[in-house]
Amino acid sequence: MTAWKQLFLSLILLVAACAAAVIFLPGTAGLLTKIGVPQSWVAAVTPAEVGKGAEEGNAAAGSKRRGANTPLVVTKAVVSGVVNDRLSAIGTGDAIRSVVVTPQATGMIREILIKSGDRVKQGQVLARLDNDEQIIARGQAEVTLKSAVEKSQLYHNIKSSVSRMDVFDAEIAEQGARLAVQSAELALKRRDIVAPIDGIVGIVPVVIGDNVTTSTSIVTLDDRSEILVDYWVPERFANTVKVDQPVEATSVARPGRLFSGVVEAVDNRVDGTSRTLRIRARIDNASDELRAGMSFNVGMRFAGETYPSVDPLSVQWDAEGSYVWRVVDGKSSKVRVNVVQRNPDAVLVRADLRNGDLIVTEGLQRVTEGGAVRFARDVAEAAEVVTQ
């Protein structure tokens, strides 16, 4: 067989094979077009129904590829958040009233009527000094008073026989005697050491038989029904902290317990060296869990301005600063933000955002300006419908 006949036969077989492939293998027509076979030749060997099916298949495949290329994202709506400016400071507690009890006279302690930890009332006798001398002095004053009273009464009964000056002197003597009795009774009373306030007794440092003076400490009384905590705050809070403002305090001695109180007093000046302001808080201690001298961590909150709140994962950065991706009508757009405050679960920002705006939190890598996006929840719902 001559060469041209072999070539012609091979061409016929090739055309037949392509026609069979186009008919029985969908997508072959598109492949032939891509490798350079003229469209007219492909159309000549492709039946109308096959061509139509191939076009529809190509269109569906293209649509599917375009859907797969659309970024899949997770969004979260913008909500409002308040900037809470919080103050934390370390302070030392003290009883709301604390008194060091000292004698009002000098002498030897004859009796001690209290022990450490006792609760005492105002006016209760805590200890007594020896008072024999004062008892004698009071008795003498009472005798002198009795004599002066009798003499004064006698002179009043015999006014006609004595001068008016003698009557006047008798009256003066009676008044002086009465004052002497009062003085003796006061000296005797001061031999009793009494509680000036209601409180709890501390350690008693003296014992019976000790000689004490008016400067000797007998005992310390603490009224710890409330605890005063002094702490210092930076001067920027000078115009913010107000009397009766609520405070919260914790103590190392009571971990996990939170004690509530209010600001009792605010100092009238800022310390020039430390640039701090002294604050005194009053904390309720009805349960008697706290003691004077304890250290406290005092916290205060100050309500601030309202800002849009977004998920921390949504905030991105580039050369121009921070931004988030907002989705509107299935399209993404970049919104510049300024971070105001970072919290563990939210970031407060200053931006052109409103409550309810959808912000991308996941799938950020493929999001572009003005590009279409798919919502992960929609894809999940569609898959669920198909499985049903």
Structural domains present in the chain = 3-68 (no CATH), 72-83+306-387 (2.40.420.20), 101-212 (no CATH), 219-304 (2.40.30.170)
From first to last of its 388 residues, the chain has per-residue pLDDT tens of 566 566 666 666 666 666 665 555 555 555 556 555 565 555 555 554 444 444 444 544 444 454 557 888 899 999 988 876 778 899 999 999 999 999 999 999 999 999 999 999 999 999 999 999 999 999 999 999 999 998 888 888 776 677 788 888 888 999 999 999 999 999 999 999 999 999 999 999 999 999 999 999 999 999 999 999 999 998 888 888 899 999 999 998 888 889 999 999 999 999 989 999 999 999 999 888 899 999 999 999 877 778 999 999 999 999 899 999 999 998 999 999 999 888 888 999 999 999 999 999 998 888 889 999 988 765 455 445 444 5
Written as six digits, the tokens of 300 are 């205060």
Written as six digits, the tokens of 276 are 């701090």
Rounded to two decimals, the pTM is 0.55
Q: How far is CA 93 from CA 30, 281, 361, in A?
A: 87, 9, 47
Spatial distance between the Cα atoms of 282 and 294, rounded to a whole number of angstroms: 14
Give the pLDDT confidence score for residue 27 in this predicted structure. Answer: 54
User: Residues with Cβ < 8 Å from 231, sequence gap 6 or more?
Assistant: 89, 90, 91, 92, 278, 279, 281, 296, 298
Burial class, 21, CB count within 10 angstroms (exposed 0-12 / middle 13-18 / buried 19+): middle
SS3 call for 269: strand
Give the pLDDT confidence score for residue 306 in this predicted structure. Answer: 86
How many residues are given for the chain? 388
Question: Taking the CA atoms of the chain, what radius of gyration do you get in angstroms?
Answer: 50
Spatial distance between the Cα atoms of 302 and 282, rounded to a whole number of angstroms: 18
Taking alpha carbons only, the member of 260, 276, 277 closest to residue 268 is 277
